[in-house]
Structure 1
Amino acid sequence: MVTSAVSRSQDQSARTPVLTRRSGRWLDGFDPESTEFWHTQGRPIARRNLGWSIYAEFLGFIIWQLWSVVVVLLPAAGFAFTSAETFWLLSVPSLVGATLRFPYTFMVPRFGGRNWTIVSALLLLIPASLLAIAVGNPDTPFWLMLVIAALAGFGGGNFASSMANITYFFPQREKGWALGLNAAGGNLGTSVAQFFVPVVVSIGAGIGLGLPLAGWMWVPFILVAAWGAWRYMDNLSSAKADLAGSAAALREPHLWLLSLLYIGTFGSFIGFSSVFPKLIVDEFPEFSALHIGAAVVSLAFLGALVGSLFRPLGGRLADRFGGARVTVAAFAVMAVGAFGILGVLALGQFWLFLVCFLVLFAATGVGNGSTYRMIPIVFSASAVARREGDAAAVARRAAAALGLISGIGAYGGFVVPQVLNASQSASGGYEAAFVGFGIAYIVLLLVTVVLYAVPRASLDGRRI
């Protein structure tokens, strides 16, 4: 009996990881899947890292989407860019940010989550400072403004490295909620930038500072993020790059199908977030700025705010009703919103325009959460249908797909402004673009129904 008890104790000890710390805040033996370790040591460490990760990613989104509000303030600062040029200033940050998400995903295993958070936060100083300098001189050429706008893509890349880092800290049973908080916290950065930049710039104009504050105002916060990551975050030696898993995911047809859906949901969210302030200025200039004392407030921030707040709801609804059903409903509402905006543009009613856009933003948020939730389920069902026996390989492939799809989906932030640009250039208005958006959402709805809402043998007869 004694020998048996000792044996059980030794077995339990062997199963409980021993956490060791090295210089540079490296942690060895961090195993969130061990229940005892998670409850005694892992959870507080994970939550501390999550908090600073959210803050750093939040600032990344602010810098990424800073030009969405700056471009509408350029005319008052003496700039005379064409509408097409301003659309390029709006869309290039999304193009660069989406592209950077791929290499950023592998930076955490290469350099450590804490170390890369410090570096990626400090990189935000470059686009913020250069923007502040450039907008202070109306003679700054368009090509230079475009280069500086492209550098704002550093903020878009932060999402991928932040999500990859947090993945290693949480057990599977809590990973979805942690990643949802991380994503939603980052998305809120767009709304915060669109609310506070006009306020600070308008107040600063009274003391001779004005538009350069749009960049300078974030520098102290960025420095705090870098300091917080240095002081409180950790590097995990267990974080390993999975190039094989990424290569396997790229060969999976469902990765490209789900990427298409994510372009429709997240791509629409980030794309419309970037152009919403300009659309209000172009269509309803009398409502583009609300004066409250010396401050100027734009209602454009409401779109990104609603979309961000509805994202976690999409994940929750997907858990209860199924990701495909919720995504179908999201695309249906998005189509209604797009066609509603089309009708409202003809009527010239601002408040109806705002309501329709907020409905569209809410649906993109729900669709973001539900589509993202579908990814691991689709990969698991596909593997079961093919009778794959290596569960670890399936999990690795699904995890890699999450990062890849988030990067591909972000290209929608480039597509949406350019579609609107093409519509305005060709017809002088945005009506054709919203017809196209509405039709695209209906097509994506049908794709979701046919491939994922209806049980299919290729997905083990499951309804996703």
Structure 2
Amino acid sequence: MSTAAERPPAIAVQAEPRRRGREWLAVWDPEDERSWDSRLAWRTLGITTYNLTLAFITWFLVSAIAPRLNNIGFGLSVSELYWLAAMPGLAGGMLRLVWMFLPPILGTRKLVSLSTLLLIIPLAGWGWAVQDSSTSYPVLLALAFLCGIGGGVFSGFMPSTSYFFPRRKQGVALGIQAGIGNFGVSVVQFLVPWVVGFALLGTASIAPETVVKPAKGLGDSIWLHNAGIVFIPWVIAGAALAWFFLKSVPVQASMSQQLDIFRNKHTWIMTALYVMTFGAFSGFAAQFGLLIKNLYGGFPGAPDPLAFAFLGPLVGSAARVAWGPLCDKFGGAVWTVVAGVGMTVSTIFTALWLSPASVGEFKWFVAGMLGIFFFAGVGNASTFKQMPMIFERRQAGGVIGWTAAIAAFGPFLFGVGLASISPVVFFGGWTVFFTLCVWLAWHFYARKGAERPS
């Protein structure tokens, strides 16, 4: 196994003759200051980040809709709601296994623009489905699965962006893209409770849904269909921006060539570390509202789940953006260890408030959850700094896509776990996993004499 110092420097890549044209760059080497086009790189980052935010909004749309479905007459059980919120995670993980291979094949322009247009399908689908409370549960599950498109595109967008930046700037660039993209979780969970309160311009002809099960903050009617419809114009705009303003880097790799990442043990170690960070972030983000409702919803004066659900993703996303520059300065490995320790301690603390005796314990539960989200955000930034340092450029793109694909199963694993076992046991199991990941990060990457310091 070669060390980081022994790996060859990045070299310029050239497009094959069949790919020459307006879209494909002929030569591209971001490690060469003389030829690197920083304006193109940052423009690419801006457009793909905007579209990634829309993708995350779509991916977590169900987490914002599910707590309100029974209020308009759907009558779903606790287990069915957990499964519904889990389905986008299952789809996101599966679809990332597809999207991870697409950047060298489609190129950034086609990949981002066409992927963004696909988001219209689940957004419009949910806008239609919630108008009739007799919509069957299998249909709701299918629409929840389609929301996973928003999770799947991450494994195409992030590697595409990494091609445009030199290694020394990838911590900042990928931290910005993933961090702001993650804000989509907070956007949908914060915005949906507001937009369902009135008729939108252009959709006023659609009758509101009748509230049959009153809840705090709800009147007699809500426009729950707005939750999906409101984002469709922004999706169309994002696809147009990508189509007209993006270029494609001529990084060439066939499907079989991309599979060589699986012969490297560090692919598997970094997969575990990213499951610790993003797997937990996405899993808790998808289930946070339902956890609040199921643990504290039975008390008098119970908190509104949607008034707090957006806070966790907001904190985690902000941490991911803020720690990108720190990871570039100090390296990613040390921050991955810090993140793992912080997540372990926060999870243990939160577990103390999973069997509440009164609503007064809610503030401690929220504080523990926000701690988990904060340190998960730090770890999301640090692991994405590590991967371009551990692997050569083409492999790094593939590893980013693969680890992101596996971690995207977080919402599914969390949903199935919470539907199957008690929250106390569930949190205990993740505490053990976090502890193991701390050792992996320290032993292989952070300690003095580590195999791949990063």
TM-score, structure 2 as length reference:
0.84
User: 39, 49, 52: which one pairs with 2:44?
Assistant: 49
Distance in 1 (CA, whole Å) between partners of 2:418 and 2:184 is 23
* Aligned residue runs from structure 1 range 206-355, under 5 A: 210-236=223-249, 238-241=250-253, 243=255, 245-285=257-297, 286-289=301-304, 298-347=307-356, 348=358, 349-355=361-367
AA in 2 matched with 1:168: Y
1:49 alignment partner, SS class: helix
DSSP 3-state at the match of 1:404: helix
The percentage of counterpart residues that share the same residue type is 35
Secondary structure at the counterpart of residue 131 of structure 2: coil
Mapping 1:392-411, distance limit 5 Å: 394-411=392-409
- Give 1:244 deviation, angstroms: 5.2
Partner secondary structure for residue 35 of structure 1: coil
In the TM superposition, residue 149 of structure 1 has moved relative to its aligned partner by 0.4
Which one-letter code corresponds to 1:289 in the other structure? D
Structure 1 residue 412 displacement after superposition: 2.3
Give the equivalent residue in structure 1 for 2:410: 412
Note the alpha carbon deviations across 1:172-200, whole angstroms, 9 max, x for none: 33233222211112111001000000111
Which position in structure 1 is the counterpart of 2:194? 199
Q: CA 1:62 to 1:29, structure 2 compared with 1: closer, same or farther past 3 Å?
A: same
Seen in structure 2, the aligned counterparts of structure 1 residues 175 and 339 have a Cα distance that, compared at 3 Å, is closer
Q: Which has the larger radius of gyration?
A: 1
Deviation of 1:31 after TM superposition, in Å, equals 4.0
> Offset of 1:162 from its aligned partner?
1.1
Distance 1:335 1:280 in 2: 21
Q: Deviations over 1:48-100 (max 9, x none)?
A: 22211111111000000111111101011111111111111111111111121
Give the TM-score taking structure 1 as reference length. Answer: 0.83
Matches within 5 A, 1:365-404: 365-379=377-391, 394-404=392-402
Instruction: Specify which of 411, 426, 429 is matched with residue 436 of structure 1.
Output: 429
Alignment gaps of 5+ in structure 1: 1-14, 291-296, 380-393, 425-429
Map 1:352-363 to 2 at 5 A.
352-363=364-375
Higher helix residue share:
1
Q: Deviations over 1:215-245 (max 9, x none)?
A: 1111111111112112222234x13235455
Contact 1:67 1:90 in 2 (8 A): yes
Cα distance 1:301–1:178, how it changes in 2: closer, same or farther (>3 A)? same
Provide the rounded CA distance (Å) in 1 between the counterparts of 2:437 and 2:24: 44
Q: For residue 182 of structure 1, what is the aligned residue in structure 2?
A: 177
2-structure distance, mates of 1:321, 1:168: 22
- Which piece of structure 1 moves more, 167-176 or 252-261? 167-176
1:168 aligns with 2:166: no
* Aligned equivalents of 1:215, 1:447: Cα separation in 2: 41
Answer with 227-236 or 49-58: which moved more: 227-236
- Please tell me the residue identity of whatever aligns with 2:110: N
Change (3 A) 1:34 1:331: closer
The Cα of 1:377 is off from its aligned counterpart by: 3.6
Aligned-pair Cα RMSD in Å: 2.7
Residue 3 of structure 1 aligns with which residue?
Answer: none
CA distance in structure 1 between the partners assigned to 2:38 and 2:438 by the alignment: 39
Structure number with greater CO (CA < 8 Å, separation at least 6) is 2
